[in-house]
Each structure stands twice: as structure tokens, then as C-alpha cells.
A and B are shown apart, each in its own frame.
Chain A
Amino acid sequence: MMPFLEVKDMRKQYGAIKAVDGVSMKVGPGEIVGVIGPNGSGKTTLFNSILGQIQPTSGNVEFCGENITGMSPLELSRRGVGRTFQTLQVFVKLSVRDNLIAAAQEFKGTLGSRLFAKNDAGLGGHADEMIELFRLKHVAKLPAGSLSYGQQKLIDIAMAFMPAPRLVLLDEPCAGVNPSLVDQLRELLVELNKTQGGSFVVIEHNMDFIMKLCPHVICMVEGKVMAEGPPAEVQANRQVLEAYLGN
């Protein structure tokens, strides 16, 4: 079966520093793949190279058989590729509901037709469903910037799923999130994977979260793939343990 996303020999070099050094990976349709590794191992650089945020030094990215290497984030979003960022990226002055509508409205109609469209671009119902799913109903009308970090993180993630993307790359979704919310977040991602049917690639440092969520895990160390496979196998890999804990 043709992979949904295929990264071939991706390299990104900053002077003498090889941030990503020949990484290849495959993601199947509907699959959830976890990417782990110590700080500075090149995970976010790999994401940014795949997603057109930075230009890779060499290598190829194919999405549904199409070469998408170096495409802009705008072009990728139109092909159904979504993402979240390592840091919070919400529209702080917009309400929670408007954040969600803003996340999907550009996929409805044309630029010209949106000028004459209803205020919610016909997405109000879907936004309310996501608000319900992410348990944000009590703050739906408040500006996103006025909420707690954890709540903004939930908005951030909900926004990525609003347009029902075919592929979502999540960069540290648990970072800064209250431990009591982590399980809720995992359940939400499982639910979205079932209902929307997209493929997810998740970077995360929370091992418990990633081991429970992802049937396939890739471990990166110093820009290279050190190990990959089922979570238990990767967790037991001696090289992986050394990379995390030292000799």
C-alpha cells in the first residue's frame, strides 16, 4: 500500500550543524506515529522541513504520491495538511468560537464568496461541536488570550482539527498542560482519529502519553532515526535508553 506521507532522506544543515541528518519515515492512512527524542535531536526541525516552514537542505517529502517538498504552509493547508506548533499559536483577541471558525473558514468557498457569506461562514455548528468535544463551552465567548495556558493549548489543538485535515502534525501537544488534562487530550486525539480518519504525527516528551497513543514510534537522536517500531520495542531499545539516560 502506498504510504500517505513519505519522507525520504531529509537533511537540514545549519553551517556545520546537522539538525536533521538523513531521516526517512512513512505514515500510513489513519495511522498515528509518535516522534520522540531528547531535546535538540531535530524533531521540530524535521516538522518544519516537512511543513514548508523552513527549506530542507536536501531530501523529499511526498504526500499522497505528490512531491510537496518546499511547498508553502498555505499550499500544504489546501492539500489537507494541518499542524500545531511547539509554542501556543492562537488568535488572542478573537473569542474561542471565532478562533475555531477562523481555522476552517478559508476552506469554504472563494475569497470573493466569503465576503458575502454569513458571519460564521456556515461553520458555527461545527465550531460548537468542537467546543463541546474539547470541553470549552463555558469559555466559548471569551477572548482566547484571556484564558489559561492549558485552555489555550486545547484551543490550539482544536483549531488544527477544525478543517478536518487528512494529515496533522502535532508538536508537543502536552507541553505545559496540566497532568490532569493529558489523559483527556489523549482521548480526544483517539476520538478525532476515529471520527475524522486523518493520520497524525506527534512529537512529544511525555512518554506515557506517546506510548499509549501511538502504535508506531520513531526515536530521533542527533538528527538521525535511532530506533523505530512498536512503543514497547522502542522503549526497551538500549541505544534509546542511553540517549535519554546516558551510559
Chain B
Amino acid sequence: MKENNLERVEQLLKKSLRPSIAGSGPELRRDLWPAMLKRLEARPPALPWFDWALLVAVAAWLAFYPGAIPVLLYHL
């Protein structure tokens, strides 16, 4: 009984909201690359938080063990 009820809700929903164009779906009408390029130029990618965390960890390590600096420089 309840399942039938939900089926009726489903039918009502399908009748109320149309699907987008059948097949491959809604089509993009313009090339968005110029807009993308503008956005990339306006917002240079920020350094991810884990890169900052790594930088802080390395700095802290070097502050506590300055003797490690030559070892680090050797490996760079």
C-alpha cells in the first residue's frame, strides 16, 4: 500500500518536472575556454594546504636540528 503510494509520488514528480533534452542531454552553445582562461589568469592556483603544512614541518625540523641543513642541501 505504502509502496503504491510512493509510486504515485514518483509519477507525479515525473509529470511535474520535465527531463532535459533526450539523448546526449543539454548542449553547450559556446566554447567556454576563453572564460576559463580569464579565470585562470585572474585567480592563480593557491598552494594546497598540505604543501604549506609540509613547508612548516620542514622549517620546524631545520630549526630544531640545524645540523640537518647540509644533509638537506646535499640531497637537493
Task: Please determine whether chains A and B interact with each other in the same assembly.
Answer: no
Write the residues of chain B forming the contact surface with A, with a CB cutoff of 8 angstroms: none
